[in-house]
Structure 1
Amino acid sequence: MAMKTPAFLRHAVVLLVAAACALPAHAERIKDLAQVGGVRGNALVGYGLVVGLDNSGDRTSQAPFTVQSLKNMLGELGVNVPANVNPQLKNVAAVAIHAELPPFAKPGQTIDITVSSIGNAVSLRGGSLLMAPLKGADGQVYAIAQGNLVVGGFGAQGKDGSRVSVNVPSVGRVPNGATVERALPDVFDGSGEITLNLHHNDFTTVARMVSALNNTFGEGAARAVDGVTVAVQAPTDPGARIGLLARIENIELSPGTAPAKVVVNSRTGTVVIGSQVRVSPAAIAHGSLTVTVSESTQISQPNAFAGGQTVAAPQSSITASNEGSRMFRFDGGATLDEIVRAVNEVGAAPGDLIAILEALKQAGALSAELEVI
């Protein structure tokens, strides 16, 4: 006997179930749960010129800063361009450059950079980025960028103005395109503690992490600072700290269970229901509500001897029907599996499902946080 596809699936609602069965908590490494305080990347940004483009650069009449930048660069190289001369270049583009300086990066190392057009350049394909400084939030130069762009997009334009493009040809990357010139301040300042910051606030996980660290290194080795931070006693010698962190990040523990949450994407109809979600006793009526709006135009034609004018009057007709109503009931403490089965049986469409969940939450019957994105 062939199985009938539930109406819920026929409406193309994607229901993602997070941990459908209440599985026991599995052990995870501290490396995957937290990061060492201060060990982080830093954003860099810069401005530069891409040259060598095949007639796809900035139209200087609409991007005067490109010509200004080119004149400034040529002036620094000893080329004097008269102030009243504005070359009409099409093989140069002004670009913004951004990159991330990883932790512990040292002068001489290279990092990848992303180059994006900020003018009206059509494509950066085939271009070369000239030397440009990359600055941090403090205004200091931390890297120097230069190199040939790798552009994944492609574009073509006809003489009549028609244009077609694949992906985004106005953005490119330069692998190892920037050389680090300044090191970040040392995060291992020699203080007596190392802090571990959880990726997500969870008091249960913090308590279990403190317990695991104390069991490994002795009582009092670790302490909880708040719901995110754990402080660990550490030696002042940098080499000894590295060895300590290598041991810490491989310690395993069972993190706390995620809070009960239902996440709804109202644009795509995606619904994610956590395994901790419970529903109090509730009854829900569900029906397919159909609203029909029809528009027509009524022509009013006056008598030939009345001297009036022909008038077109719009007529609107709105009808609503609510047929096929059904009701289903949730017993107290209904589990995720029971919720999914009941919603599937009722054949809810994306909008209906979101409305049902919001009504349950409003009535106090949904023991979970409802988040609409």
Structure 2
Amino acid sequence: MVKFSYLLILGLLFSAPLQAAQRIKDLVSIQGVRSNQLVGYGLVVGLPGTGEQSPFTEQSFRTMLSNFGIMMPSNLKPKIKNVAAVAVHADLPAFIKPGQTIDVTVSSIGEAGSLRGGTLLQTFLKGLDGNVYAVAQGSLVVSGFGAEGADGSRIVANTPTVGSIVNGAIVERAVPSGLMQNDYLTLNLHYPDFSTARSLADAINKRLGADAASGYAIATPIDAASVRVSAPRDVGQRVGFLATLENFEFEPADAPAKVIINSRTGTIVIGKDVRLLPAAVTHGGLTVTITENQQVSQPNALADGETVVTPQSVVDVNLDDSRMFKFDPGVTLDQLVRAVNEVGAAPGDLMAILEALRQAGALQGQLIVI
């Protein structure tokens, strides 16, 4: 029998307040202020025999030597088991300047067994536009390791083909920021909601002395995800304005009623606003066990015949007592959980009950299975 464990998490504690004021900086991002992804291709050298001898690794090795004026004969195939071809990637944060450093991640793209002990040679990291924004180089830190026996048996811990270099890339080019391009700033909510956008705009206007009713408003909601805020054009004043603005507090709207089910782990998250319409649910279990036994049939010593083995099947059916519970109008999350626990429903049964309630139209809230 496979045991299926689960974790039922309530959206909020029942004794907690409905909503608390939060800082603007914790709920929004500024449009135009973002990181950028960089990627590059390079070689890791100095490996203790855990490298590879693939065609593209050999080609890259020859190209590297030619850049230093060393030409290898075309008929000479180098043995480079201490070299591995790798992909290097990093995130270029907003506002970072040339000369500063960023962390990089190095991953094997060939048949290398491990990158432990290797050193990444100078690798250009390019952005989406094809320009080089950083150059990476340095010794790798690899947390994983692997070992292989002569008979082919192997043990691997973590991932030995992926490593990192802290401060391993030097930024060579800055990415222009869109922070100063307009007379306004656009604040994008992490979780779009029309009510939250309106509440955010009202809070900014109230704190800065603006009144939308009189036609003068510093902040204006654009849609469910964005609020446009008028800002000074001067660089110093705009930075100070943002430093003040991001620490304002406001009360975001309640999130929509949702039930999230992770079918792989058995995790169930139920929002505090989930309600049930009148419904009755019956819960029961049917267990069928089939056992195969082998019986030996042996003839009498005085009779003609052969000894044979005959199968014998035993089928056992166990039907648990069915239980029924009823939900009255407006049942809360707490009452739902208590009722399901009282009938002893397993996690899989709880998922089935929630799905059946949604199909019956008795579940007020979105049911999302991931």
Normalising by structure 2, we get a TM-score of: 0.90
Distance 2:139 2:202 in 1: 52
Which of 159, 164, 173 is matched with 1:173 structurally? Answer: 164
SS of 1:104's equivalent in the other structure is: coil
**1:89 corresponding residue in structure 2:** 80
Q: How does 1:230-309 map to 2 (within 5 A)?
A: 230-293=227-290
Distance 1:182 1:222 in 2: 34
**2:322 corresponding residue in structure 1:** 325
Distance 1:19 1:346 in 2: 24
**8 Å CA contact retained: 1:286, 1:346:** yes
**8 Å CA contact retained: 1:20, 1:336:** no
SS of 1:211's equivalent in the other structure is: helix
SS of 1:242's equivalent in the other structure is: helix
SS of 2:60's equivalent in the other structure is: helix
1:269-326: CA deviation from partner (whole Å, max 9, x where unpaired): 1111111010111110000122335567999xxxxxxxxxxxx999988775532100
Amino acid at match of 1:174: I
RMSD: 2.3
Amino acid at match of 1:32: D
With over 3 angstroms needed to count, the CA separation of the structure-2 counterparts of 1:343 and 1:108, relative to structure 1, is same
Distance 1:237 1:166 in 2: 54
183-192 or 354-363, which deviates more: 183-192
After TM superposition, where is structure 1 displaced by more than 6 Å over at least 4 residues in a row?
296-299, 312-319
Amino acid at match of 1:136: G
Which of 190, 194, 205 is matched with 1:214 structurally? Answer: 205
**8 Å CA contact retained: 2:99, 2:170:** yes
1:210-269: CA deviation from partner (whole Å, max 9, x where unpaired): 001101222300000000000000111121111111111100011111111111111221
325-334 or 79-88, which deviates more: 79-88
What number of residue pairs does the alignment pair up? Answer: 353
Amino acid at match of 1:19: L
1:11-47: CA deviation from partner (whole Å, max 9, x where unpaired): 6332111113162311100000100001111111110
Distance 2:186 2:225 in 1: 10
**2:102 corresponding residue in structure 1:** 111
With over 3 angstroms needed to count, the CA separation of the structure-2 counterparts of 1:144 and 1:318, relative to structure 1, is farther
**1:45 corresponding residue in structure 2:** 39
**8 Å CA contact retained: 2:94, 2:177:** no
Distance 1:52 1:267 in 2: 41
Distance 1:191 1:33 in 2: 22
Distance 1:188 1:345 in 2: 56
**1:16 corresponding residue in structure 2:** 9
Amino acid at match of 2:198: A
SS of 1:188's equivalent in the other structure is: helix
Distance 2:278 2:139 in 1: 65
**1:56 corresponding residue in structure 2:** 50
With over 3 angstroms needed to count, the CA separation of the structure-2 counterparts of 1:363 and 1:27, relative to structure 1, is same
Distance 1:318 1:26 in 2: 58
Which of 160, 168, 188 is matched with 2:151 structurally? Answer: 160
**8 Å CA contact retained: 1:190, 1:238:** no
Which of 109, 115, 119 is matched with 1:124 structurally? Answer: 115
Unmatched 5+ residue regions in structure 2? 212-216, 297-308
Normalising by structure 1, we get a TM-score of: 0.89
Unmatched 5+ residue regions in structure 1? 1-9, 300-311
SS of 1:255's equivalent in the other structure is: coil
1:92-141: CA deviation from partner (whole Å, max 9, x where unpaired): 00000010000011111100000001111111111100001001111111
